[in-house]
Structure 1
Amino acid sequence: MKTNQEMVRYIDNFSVIQRTSDGYFDANGLLNQWNSVEGNPERSMKRFLDSPKTNEFIEALINDESQRSKMQFPDIQAVKSIKSRTLKDGSKTIGQVWMHPLLFIKFAMWINPTFEVKVLRFVYDEMIRYRNDAGDAYKELSSAVMKIVPSHFMPKAMQKIGEALNWIIFNSHEKMLRNKHGDEGKLRELWQLEKKIAGLIEEGFISTYEQLISYLRKLYRKNWEPKVLTV
């Protein structure tokens, strides 16, 4: 079971909450902020959710998620609402409407055409951020590798390590491969893996080039080799 935390993200001047357990966003929090700004045309959650276009999108989204996760249709929810409730001190909590990330993007763009540009910028910037983070983590990894290989072998060692990382994450290799991938999830995986390997070297768990290559081979087999069914 995943431990849930709530992260605060920003789209322009609006803060949005995303929970780590399933990646869902609190759409009602964004809506309340939008409606509280003087001069903004008021938007209704009910109007958005009752829209035929929204329902068509939700159906397509759930079908796609069902195919990806191999779950049955009823087990997947694109919207999860939590009603407001009265606390012991008499105060009330604010109701939350947690939306699947893709539905949330559609909702945020529906709020306002001008705001739509901000949402698209938010999505684009997140993808670019992970690509840049992966580049920075690669430099961090290089600094760590320098501690376990001779200086004259560094160019060759980093070439082999870079190839191995591509195979582990993308199951392929070519020059500048990471720049050709627009998949935020893959770029995030690459960034996390580079950080992890650098940490293992810094902490002494990997102390030789041979150990590092062996570790990378194990990761590749884990990610891509077919699992043999055992009885």
Structure 2
Amino acid sequence: MLRMFLAVTTTALALWGGTSGPTEATPTPSATPTPSPTPVCPPALPITANVTGVTTTSVTISYSIFFRPPCGYDPPMTVSLFASREDAQQWRAPVAVAVSGPERNGSVTIDRLTPDTEYWYRFSDVEGRRDPYAFSSARTSPLASCRATATIDARWGNGFVATVTVRNTGTEPLDGWRVSWRWTGDERVQTVWGGVAEAVGVDVTVRNASYNGTLALAGVTTFGLLVTTSAVPDGLTTTCAR
């Protein structure tokens, strides 16, 4: 009787302490996620740009995008103009902004600019990523402050003499001028008086001499040319700038 009581008591205590209950499952460690591979970009610039046109109030910048994200960009691109190199380096206070089209090789024209002024340009994409490489400057053309007209005074079989009149057409005294034109044949300047000539191929520029560079309002000066050629032209189409 005593043995039966002890056996029942032992069984009850074992059940009470949970020694004969179900065993808890051991948790399985979670797998460590594999990191995404770092993209390897080609050793080349993702975008290049250069100035392809200027007027007195506009600048045209052409660009080529070579790579897509993450190594490059997708158009459209935003072109920002800055008033100084320091502002452009810090992307501070852009003075003008324009957005390109969808082309990967295209151009952007920014207008309403100030004549004869240097601007610095930078590129960014639609995600706001700023390109660190396409970074340079462009200068708008100066306003026409003078006018030059050429007259052929004498001509012969293989040459001619011409006089070019330079007039200040601006709103302030002119301090220095240059007159340019392009030959249409085999013309060559032999002698210049009243100016200093420079020629590169068919393009000729004559700058003022030391004594006639300053012109008052509506002031006029002249310079002369002795030119050799196999065919004397009917005239010269000249441009004048400060």
- The TM-score normalised by the length of structure 2 is 0.26
Counting helix residues as a fraction of each chain, which structure ranks higher? 1
Give the number of the structure whose alpha-carbon radius of gyration is greater.
2
Counting strand residues as a fraction of each chain, which structure ranks higher? 2
- The TM-score normalised by the length of structure 1 is 0.27
